[in-house]
Amino acid sequence: MKNINVGIVGLGRLGKEHAKNLAFRIAGVKLNAACSIVKSELEYAKKELGVQDVYSDYREMLKQADIDAVVIVTTSSEHCWQIAAALDAGKHVFSDKPLGVTIEECRLAEAAVAKHADQIFFLGFMRRFDPSYAYAKEKIKQGLIGRPYMIKATGIDPEALVEGAIKFAPTSGGIFTDMAIHDIDLMRWFLEDNPVEVYANGATFKHPEFKAANDDETGVAMYKCAKGGIGFVHVGRTASYGYHVETEIIGTEGTLRISPVPEKNLCAIYDIHGVVKECVTGFPERFAEAYRLEMENFIACIRSNKQPEVSVFDGTKSTQIAFATTTSYRNKEVIKIGY
């Protein structure tokens, strides 16, 4: 079994997680090259990951590095052209979500993927690989909850990280584009249905800076799907207790609820406050295993020459839905979603 050689582009917070998984925790893969426009990230690659073949120019890496595949963890606005360039260079591609920041970009990525149908294109909706979410999907397939027809999703970042969110607010594209994309993907995945209408709203009661940036610290959206399913998404940035991602899928025969208590681990504390479960502090802690498993799956797709479950079109659709949600939120009206 020959190793799959991989080059990574982008070594920020999440990029480092992916790189460590590729370098140390997945069978049959070798992290052979790394690219970043940040010098210290290339030092990191050499010293911590043992990757000597480093680049500051992405196209250079595609041309020269001994790699079968590229893992893209750059700023969202760079994803699409980097996807196309890598595919054109004959590489398999893993891109972190979202697919792109405009629909036009997404279409370019779609075209590139279509042109290279024999290469793997993998879009990083890692929640699908989280053991609890994967278990829920499996149970649904087995019919445990009958026909799933409603999803209620919550995603709240910890108050501890709010300063960054405030700084990022003016350029983030708004809370829905920024935070709801995973929930939107889960809604489509669990309901096997596409939203055709959305109505959104928001609120700010703690950090007026969000309002000042034409954004909100809390957003809610209600979706109606083509086959009649319903979605409700609640995103926010100010959970005092930690990082709260919770999802409920309601079916005709039962309900699945994932992580109502975003517990850090299996230990409960009985002390003067009562019985306490401490909570996870952020997505790297909550989804560490999911990030590893999705990358393992990417490598398995390459090896077996099978496209992954999530397609480039899923990427475009999630982005379209996030945009429609933002439009509804800004215009204060019900928005029909076309694809």
Q: Which of residues 223-252 bind a second copy (CB under 8 A)?
A: 224, 228-230, 232, 234, 236, 238-242, 244, 250, 252
Q: What angle do CA 86, 88, 94 make, to 5 degrees?
A: 30
CB 183 within 8 A of CB 223: no
Which parts of 271-330 interact with a second copy (CB under 8 A)? Answer: 271-279
Cβ 220 to a second copy shortest distance, Å: 6
Cβ 257 to a second copy shortest distance, Å: 5
Cβ 106 to a second copy shortest distance, Å: 28
Choice from 64, 75, 102, 255 touching a second copy (CB under 8 A): 255
Taking the least distance from each CB to a second copy, the nearer of 107 and 264 is 264
CB within 8 A of 272, min separation 6: which ones? none
Which parts of 188-227 interact with a second copy (CB under 8 A)? Answer: 199, 201, 203-206, 218, 220, 222, 224
Give me the torsion for CA of 46, 47, 48, 49, rounded to 10°: 30
CB 264 within 8 A of CB 279: yes
Taking the least distance from each CB to a second copy, the nearer of 85 and 258 is 258
254 binds a second copy (CB under 8 A): yes
Pairing of strands 92-96, 121-124: parallel
Token pair of 16 as six digits: 């480092």
Considering only CA atoms, give the Rg of the chain. Answer: 20
Binding mask 73-102 for a second copy (x = CB under 8 A): ------------------------------
6 binds a second copy (CB under 8 A): no
CB 51 within 8 A of CB 36: no
26 binds a second copy (CB under 8 A): yes
Residue 264 is classified by DSSP as: S
